[in-house]
Structure 1
Amino acid sequence: MNRVEKRSVITLSSILGVRMLGLFLILPILGLYVNVIPYATPFTIGIALGIYGLTQAILQIPFGYLSDRIGRKPMLILGLILFTLGSIIAANASSIYAIILGRALQGSGAIASVALAFLSDVTREEERTRAVAILGISIGFSFIVAFMVGPILDLIVGLSGIFWIAAILSTLAVLAVIVLLPEVSVNTSRQDTQPTWTDLFKSFCQIDLLAIDIGIFFLHMILAALFVFVPIFIVENFQSSSTEQWKIYGPVLFCSVLGMLPLLRLSMQKKYTFFVLRLGVAILFIALLMFAIIPISFTVIMIGLWLFFLGFTLLEALMPSMMSRLAPVGKKGSAIGVYNTFQFMGIFSGGLIGGWLYGLYGADGVFIFLACSGLAWLMLILAVRKPNFLESRMIDLKKVPQSEVSALLEKFQSMEGVREVILIPTEEIVHLRVEAEKFNDHDVNSAMGCLTSLN
Structure 2
Amino acid sequence: MMNALERRSTFALSSIFALRMLGLFMIIPVFAVAGQSYQYATPALIGLAVGVYGLSQALLQIPFSLWADRFSRKPLIVFGLLLFALGGAVAAMSETIYGVIIGRAIAGAGAVSAVVMALLADVTREEQRTKAMAIMGMSIGLSFVIAFSLGPWLTSLVGISGLFWVTTIMGLLAILMLFMVPKTTRHHQNYKQGYLKQLKQVLKMADLNRLHVSVFSLHLLLTAMFVYIPSQLIEYADIPLAKHGIVYLPLLLISLFFAFPSIILAEKYRQMRGIFLTAIGGIIIGLIILIFGYQSKYLLLLGLGLFFIAFNVMEALLPSWLSKAAPIQSKATAMGVNASGQFLGAFCGGILGGQLLVLQHTAIGWSILSVIAIVWLLVSFGLAQPRYLSSIVLRLPEAKQTDEWTSQLLAIRGIEEVVVMSEQQVAYVKVDKQQIDDAARQHLTHLLGKEVAI
Structure-2-length-normalised TM-score: 0.93
What is the aligned partner in structure 2 of residue 429 from structure 1?
426
Q: CA deviation at 1:255?
A: 1.6
Residue identity matched to 2:376:
W
Q: Within 5 A, what are the aligned runs for 1:45-444?
A: 45-177=46-178, 179-189=179-189, 191-192=190-191, 196-361=195-360, 363-397=362-396, 399-401=397-399, 403-439=400-436, 440-444=440-444
Q: Deviations over 1:360-410 (max 9, x none)?
A: 44544432221111111111111110122111111101x523x53222111
Q: Secondary structure at the residue paired with 1:301?
A: helix
Q: CA deviation at 1:13?
A: 0.4
Q: Distance in 2 between matches of 1:93 and 1:362?
A: 39
Q: Deviations over 1:159-196 (max 9, x none)?
A: 2222111111211111222x22211111112x326673
Q: Distance in 1 between matches of 2:263 and 2:349?
A: 26
Q: Distance in 1 between matches of 2:265 and 2:449?
A: 39
Q: Secondary structure at the residue paired with 1:321?
A: helix
Q: Distance in 2 between matches of 1:237 and 1:40?
A: 33
Task: Mark the runs of 5 or more structure 2 residues left unpaired by the alignment.
Answer: none
Residue identity matched to 2:88:
S
Q: Deviations over 1:316-357 (max 9, x none)?
A: 011000000000121111111111111111011111222133
Q: In 2 relative to 1, CA 46–235 (structure 1 residues): closer, same or farther, beyond 3 Å?
A: farther
Q: Distance in 1 between matches of 2:276 and 2:137?
A: 14
Q: CA deviation at 1:425?
A: 1.8
Deviates more, 1:338-347 or 1:144-153: 144-153
Q: CA deviation at 1:81?
A: 0.3
Deviates more, 1:164-173 or 1:264-273: 264-273
Deviates more, 1:78-87 or 1:102-111: 102-111
Q: In 2 relative to 1, CA 153–236 (structure 1 residues): closer, same or farther, beyond 3 Å?
A: farther
* Aligned residues of 1:394 and 1:432 also touching (Cα < 8 A): yes
* Aligned residues of 2:236 and 2:295 also touching (Cα < 8 A): no
* Aligned residues of 2:58 and 2:341 also touching (Cα < 8 A): yes
Deviates more, 1:242-251 or 1:30-39: 30-39
What is the number of equivalent residue pairs in this alignment?
446
Q: Distance in 1 between matches of 2:330 and 2:446?
A: 30
Residue identity matched to 2:353:
G
Q: Distance in 1 between matches of 2:342 and 2:261?
A: 25
What percentage of residue pairs aligned between the two structures are identical?
A: 35
Q: Distance in 2 between matches of 1:405 and 1:192?
A: 20
Q: Would you identify which runs of 4 or more consecutive aligned residues in structure 1 move more than 6 Å? A: none
Q: CA deviation at 1:58?
A: 0.5
Q: Distance in 2 between matches of 1:232 and 1:95?
A: 30
Q: Distance in 1 between matches of 2:230 and 2:49?
A: 17
What is the aligned partner in structure 2 of residue 447 from structure 1?
447
Q: Secondary structure at the residue paired with 1:422?
A: strand
1:31 correspondence with 2:32: yes
* Aligned residues of 1:195 and 1:330 also touching (Cα < 8 A): no
Q: Secondary structure at the residue paired with 2:95?
A: coil
Q: Pairwise CA RMSD of aligned residues?
A: 1.9
Q: Distance in 2 between matches of 1:55 and 1:79?
A: 12
Task: Mark the runs of 5 or more structure 1 residues left unpaired by the alignment.
Answer: 451-455
Q: Secondary structure at the residue paired with 2:383?
A: coil
Q: Secondary structure at the residue paired with 2:216?
A: helix
